[in-house]
Structure 1
Amino acid sequence: MFPLDATSIDKSLPVPVSTQLHGLLSYILSHGDMAYGTKLPSVRQLAADLNIAPMTVSQVYQDLRDAGLIEMKRGLGAFTARDPHARLHEDQPINALRADIDELLGKAEHLGVSPMALLSMVTAQVQMRKPRSGLNIVFVGLFPGPTRDYVEEIKRVLAADDQVRMIMLEQLKASPEAREQCARADVVLTFVHREMEVQALVPEARLLALRFIPSEKTRQALASLDPRTKIAAVTHFKDFIAIMRPSIREFAPHVAEIRVTWSSAPDLNQTIAECDVVIFATGADEVAGLARPGMRCFEYRHSPDQGALENVLVPYLAHLRRSKTGEVEKEPTGALVS
């Protein structure tokens, strides 16, 4: 994840410094790989590093605490409140089977049975032993098009009889019916930085926040840019304007000139006209229509972190399935951390 320094905040932008810092830190905490309990810079240290007022940093830290992204410990400072690599605790029942699974794999290899054939045999045996219980899953997204893509990626780790419904955050805010659908769902999925907002709208919902990372296609597109390229980086949300430059430089450190703006900025057309490439954040798709013919233009797209899907979502859904068939009664510990 990109570092924080004096270049992280652009005071020339008509966007408050506090808004830029909040978006920058919430992005790092939601999409980065900082382990749970990592100590953040002190208020004074971060203020000095960014050349901004300590009061601004203090208020942003309080807002991040209220959003559930950091913990404040009196006399000690601020710490990350999430572990993006969290797995089920080692004392979970499934871990007691690891040695047996390893032995079974070894026996299958000795007999010339491929892992895929063995998997098919186990799956068939499971289906014969007990009834399947499909899950009712809701994904709360921000924009319909990207959300459909996210859901398709998530479906790869779901059972065939699981059902996934998409609900946009704005729809959730406006519609009692949408909130009721979330309340009735077996689990509601959303982004880490939107978890507290969704939970406040539907307090009774069983919520699981998933970590998202820059997609492989985005990383490849950034790495392929010519060093002489002049980039217009456009975001839909002013809150996240500060993350555009460092996010691009993380995968295109060789590109020197990056101009950042937002999709409704008065100088948007001029910024694009003066650049060679347009990179827009998800949700600012209309910007693509402003690029001149032949101008390279692509989306900075995120995708669900496969580690979170495999190590957090899959075990948790397995627990829910067992719960629906009466095999377990308690919520799993440690499964809701993304």
Structure 2
Amino acid sequence: MFPIDASSIDKSLPVPVGTQLHGLLSYTLAFGDMVYGTKLPSVRQLAAELGIAPMTVSQVYQQLRDAGLIEMRQGLGAFTARDPRLAVDDRQPINALRGDIEAIVSRAEALGVSTMELVSMINAQAQLRRPSVGLSMVFVCIFEGPGRDYVEQIRPVLAANDSVQLVTLESLRQPGAEVDACRAADLVITFVHREAEVRTLIETDNVLGLRLIPSQRTRQNLAGLDPRSRVAAVTHFQEYIAIMRPSVREFAPHVSDIRVTWSSSPDLQEIIAGCDAVIYASGADHVADLVRPNVRCFEYRHAPDPGALENTLAPHLALLRQRRIAREPEPEAAAIEGMAPA
């Protein structure tokens, strides 16, 4: 069953419950370890569990459907959306190699070689056989600081001559150089829950959404909190206020006193003053300046899911290179063609 923490919806907050629910569900769908095709609660069931109007739940479900995060099946309800990249076309030549790929992956596992290491080895061997095809990519982030870190974290699956330009989602809302760069790129990478939005803004389909997970440092910091701590969890976006408490509890179940707010809330300083630890989401960095000395304070940071890098990004890049190779003539052939008489 689809997980939902009803206590995360706080009706005492000056944030509409529909906004809270949308943020909670979109975050869970994008960052949670959800199997595609998982059934969501019905509109009436979820409305009853949360004590809110069925119309509110219905509107949120429609927004999630429009964002490509869920699909509505006639007479059956709402389900986590299938990933179109997982669909297999048996007519593709690459499928003739599936047995060989399975054998080498199994052999690598037996030897203790990770999938990412195996992909790197194959890429290196392919580069020895012929010059690597460099791809141009754009990474669409929300905030530049974390965005730069995300780019560095995906570099292990990129070729040495691949290029990655960083742009913000906000910069795509008006025509300009950033939109042009996305349209000209071989691939635009963004967060899975922003994929549909980015596609709409740049009006192209060369967009790949990556799943992110809480970073290792974030998980360690949360696990190290004192059980007696009074924790303030601060988000930058009001929409995601409902996910702050379950996000903290996931890695700090021993902490019970958690107050949530957003970075521009009128009572922000009051809440921070009454807490022993402060956790702020990416983008709410200024919150750290409001914290008293000797009070523990850290950012709730995400990182690209290694599984998504291995199983989604790396194969997608390999397919793009294959298509580029098929379109571009061999260097020797091009040279011979240039020498031919007119």
Q: Which TM-score band applies after superposition, normalised by the shorter structure?
A: 0.7 to 0.9
What residue in structure 1 maps to residue 4 of structure 2? 4
CA deviations over 1:73-103 (Å, ceiling 9, x no partner): 222111111459x757495344232366379
Match of 1:96 among 96, 99, 108: 99
In structure 1, list runs of 5 or more residues that go unmatched: 110-116, 329-338
Give unmatched runs, 5+ long, in structure 2. Answer: 112-116, 329-342
Deviations 1:27-62 (A, max 9, x none): 011111211111100011101111111111111111
Distance of 1:38 and 1:88 partners within structure 2: 17
Q: Partners of 1:122 and 1:194 in 2: how far apart? A: 31
Please, which moves more after superposition, 1-10 or 238-247?
Answer: 1-10
Pairing of 1:180-195 with structure 2 (within 5 A): 180-195=180-195
Distance in 2 between residues matched to 1:265 and 1:103, nearest whole Å: 52
**Conserved in 1, the CA contact under 8 Å of 2:120 and 2:157?**
no
Q: How does 1:255-270 map to 2 (within 5 A)?
A: 255-270=255-270
Report the alpha carbon displacement of residue 282 of structure 1 after superposing the two structures with TM. Answer: 0.7
Amino acid at match of 1:177: A
Q: Are residues 1:208 and 2:214 paired?
A: no
| CA deviation vs aligned residue, 1:175-200 (integer Å, no higher than 9, x gap) | 42211100010000000111111000
Matches within 5 A, 1:174-185: 174-185=174-185
User: How far, CA to CA, are the matches of 1:307 and 1:317 in structure 2?
Assistant: 15
Any conservation in 1 of the 2:2–2:39 contact (CA below 8 Å)? no
In structure 1, the partner of 2:67 is 67
Q: Contact 1:227–1:256 (CA<8 Å) still a contact in 2?
A: yes
* Aligned residue type for 1:217: R
More RCO (CA 8 Å, sep 6+): 1
Note closer, same or farther for the CA distance 1:262–1:124 as it changes in structure 2 (3 Å cut): closer
Shift of the 267–105 alpha-carbon distance from structure 1 to 2, 3 Å rule, reads closer
Deviation at 1:294, TM superposition (A): 1.3
Q: 1:205 to 1:75 in 2, by over 3 A?
A: closer
Q: TM-score with structure 1 length normalisation?
A: 0.87
Q: Distance in 2 between matches of 1:302 and 1:99?
A: 31
Taking only the aligned residue pairs, the percentage that are identical comes to 62
Check 1:314–1:118 CA distance in 2 against 1; reply closer, same or farther (3 A cut).
Answer: closer
Greater alpha carbon shift after TM alignment, 65-74 vs 289-298: 65-74
SS at match of 2:248: helix
Rounded to whole Å, the distance in 2 between the matches of 1:138 and 1:146 is 15
Which is helix-richer, 1 or 2? 2
CA distance, structure 1, for counterparts of residue 73 and residue 120 of structure 2: 50
**Matched ranges for 1:70-89 at <5 A:** 70-82=70-82, 89=88
In the alignment, the residues of structure 2 paired with residue 190 and residue 119 of structure 1 have an alpha-carbon distance, to the nearest angstrom, of 22
What amino acid sits opposite 1:301 in the alignment?
R
CA contact (8 A) 1:142 1:170 kept: yes
User: What is the match of residue 336 of structure 1?
Assistant: none
CA contact (8 A) 1:184 1:205 kept: no
How far apart are the structure 1 equivalents of 2:121 and 2:234?
50
Worse overlay, 3-12 or 154-163: 3-12
Report Cα offsets for 1:294-332 as digits up to 9, x if no partner. Answer: 11100111110100100110011011111111179xxxx
C-alpha distance 303-128 of structure 1, shift in aligned 2 (>3 A): closer
- Structure 1 counterpart of 2:153: 153
- In the TM superposition, residue 149 of structure 1 has moved relative to its aligned partner by 0.3
Corresponding residue of 2:230: 230
CA distance in 2, matches of 1:2, 1:23: 15
Partner secondary structure for residue 266 of structure 1: coil
Checking the alignment, whether the CA contact within 8 Å between 2:222 and 2:251 is kept in structure 1 is yes
Query: Relative to 1, partners in 2 of residues 1:135 and 1:274: Cα closer, same or farther, differing over 3 Å?
Result: same
RMSD of equivalent CA atoms: 2.8
After TM superposition, which residue ranges in structure 1, 4 or more long, deviate above 6 angstroms? 102-106, 117-122
Rate the CA distance shift 1:7–1:180 in 2: closer, same or farther, 3 A.
Answer: same
CA distance in 2 between counterparts of 1:256 and 1:206 reads 44
Distance 2:106 2:63 in 1: 50
Decide whether the 8 Å contact of 1:172 with 1:178 is kept in 2: yes
Paired residue total: 320
Q: TM-score, normalised by structure 2?
A: 0.86
Paired residue secondary structure (1:254)? coil
Deviation string for 1:134-182 (max 9, x for gaps)? 0001100000000000000001111111111101011111342211100
